[in-house]
Amino acid sequence: MGARDSIDLGVVFAEALTEVISITAGLTVAVESEESDKNFYGMTGMVSIFGKTNGVVFISAMEQDLRVLCSAIIGAPVGEVTKEDIEDMLCELMNMTVSSARLCIADSDRAFSFSMPYVMLGERMSIILKNKTRNITRVLGNGEISLQLKIIC
């Protein structure tokens, strides 16, 4: 197996997300764990990926954490950030993260294209996985915000 075959999608997407948050919000986040029993499903951004690996990439967080992140990105006080601002920000965060990850692996056997982003709302969302499905999870945070990155492929 060559170097291009051994790409760790969890690492690629987590690095892309941390870079996007650093550039757009000026916040530093790091991978805190690869598993979580915490409920992150207040709001979830999603993008489908297509290629040798087909799947869905999710970024989930509770609304308050996304409100803080959105505030840092748009430069408005936390109390003035609307739900629509958060939804727009989450879609853009998905676009930028998936685009960055795609560029990192464009020349590998893991190259992919992706769908437009969309947002799901709700605190009781469940993801049911079928047999032979990989579930890659990374929890990223900095003590102020916490997000869950999930790749199902």
Q: Which residue has the tokens 């954490």?
A: 65
| E strand segments, 1-54 | 30-33, 43-51
Q: Above 70 in pLDDT, residue 5?
A: no
pLDDT at 40: 78
Q: What is the pLDDT of residues 111-146, one digit of tens each?
A: 899 999 999 987 666 677 677 788 899 999 999 999
* Tokens coding 26: 């000026």
Give the model's pLDDT for residue 1: 33
Could you tell me which residue, 33 or 23, shows the higher pLDDT? 23
Q: Which residue has the higher pLDDT, 92 or 108?
A: 92
Residue written as token pair 């469940």 = 126
* Residue found under tokens 């967080």: 61
pLDDT at 23 over 70: yes
Instruction: Specify the pLDDT at position 4.
Output: 42
Answer yes or no: are the C-beta atoms of 81 and 74 closer than 8 Å: yes
Distance from the Cα of residue 136 to its chain's centroid: 11
- Pairing between strand 146-152 and 112-114? unpaired
pLDDT 10s digits, 39-91:
777 899 999 999 988 899 999 999 999 999 999 999 999 999 999 999 999 99
The pLDDT, as a whole number, for residue 2 is 40
Please, which pLDDT band fits residue 26 given cuts at 50, 70 and 90? very high
What structural domains and CATH numbers belong to the chain? 3-152 (3.40.1550.10)
Confidence of residue 107 (pLDDT cuts 50, 70, 90): confident
- What average pLDDT does range 2-27 have in this prediction? 87
Task: In whole angstroms, give the CA distance from residue 104 to residue 15.
Answer: 10
